[in-house]
Amino acid sequence: MPLPEPLLLFWISLDDLVADVLSTPWGAVVTDARFPDVWDTNYARVDVATEVSAATIEADLLPALVRAGAQVEHVVSFHHEAHGELLAELSARGHRISWDLAMVLDGIPGRSGEDIPVEELMPGDELWSAAAGSMRDSFGIEPAGAVEQLLTLERAILAPAGKRWFAVRDDHGRPVSLGTLLVLAGTGYVDNVATDPAARGRGYAGAVVTRIGEESRRAGADGPFLLCDPGSAAIVRFYERLGFAPVGFLASTKGPIPDV
């Protein structure tokens, strides 16, 4: 199924906010030399529902990646059903294809962890320390430079644009479960949901996501939407229990940049 228009509009607005965008007939080339190790600020966004060749994309993408100092060729397809040949060609070259399941909050936010206090964290040392730990421990982000670049992106661009962080604290007052809300183009987006391994199984993440859904609805935004791993049935069921429903798939590839 095609991805909902509000999610694509959010994505386009996010690209315009955080990076240099070169519009193309098939989508856009997105790059930012400040964040060369961050895949999602250096990539090709293919958002037309017609087949596009790798050569057509790379004519614009590869020179831009080289100028930005990026080390990975990253291509994202918003219409995977139309880009079978493109994905097959990149896969044959050694690109790793991954899939994200897009989900949207369907109706009233589910109730989870109603007795668990969820706090909004304001930008500052505590937040950025917790965010860095989450990036390393829960998401396994590497190389190390990518974590610092992501934190700079959060501090300098996304927080001023209204990105909000929510957390549950443990008995020692440490933020141990996190999640974020960003509203752009009238669309809410849930991201960065993670819980410290030692604090899992207590309903913390459910409480955080429930709060985020409520805040998004209070803002009058469409959605909110999120992306999750379709290969993890437990994660998909977790979001379904909170009121989210699948709405489509996003395909992406990552591989070495060929010589240009």
50-72 pLDDT tens trace: 999 999 999 999 999 999 999 99
pLDDT reading at 251 higher than 70: yes
pLDDT exceeds cutoff 90 at 18: yes
Tens digit of pLDDT for each residue in 75-97?
999 999 999 999 999 999 999 99
Conformational region of residue 209, where left means phi above 0, alpha means psi within -120 to 50, and beta covers everything else = alpha
Domains and CATH numbers, the chain: 5-101+251-256 (no CATH), 119-246 (3.40.630.30)
pLDDT at res. 2: 76
How far apart CA 118 and CA 207 sit, in angstroms, is 7
The confidence score (pLDDT) of residue 110 equals: 63
Percentage of the chain modeled with pLDDT above 90 = 86
251 vs 134, residue with greater confidence: 251
218 pLDDT above the threshold of 60: yes
pLDDT in tens, 109-161: 666 656 899 999 999 999 999 998 888 765 556 666 788 999 999 999 999 99
| d(C-alpha 83, C-alpha 95), whole Å | 15
103 burial type by CB count under 10 A (0-12 exposed, 13-18 middle, 19+ buried): buried
Closest CA to 253 of 6, 103, 58: 58
pLDDT digits (tens, 9 = 90+) for 33-46: 999 999 999 999 99
pLDDT for the residue numbered 43: 98
Mean pLDDT of 218-244: 96
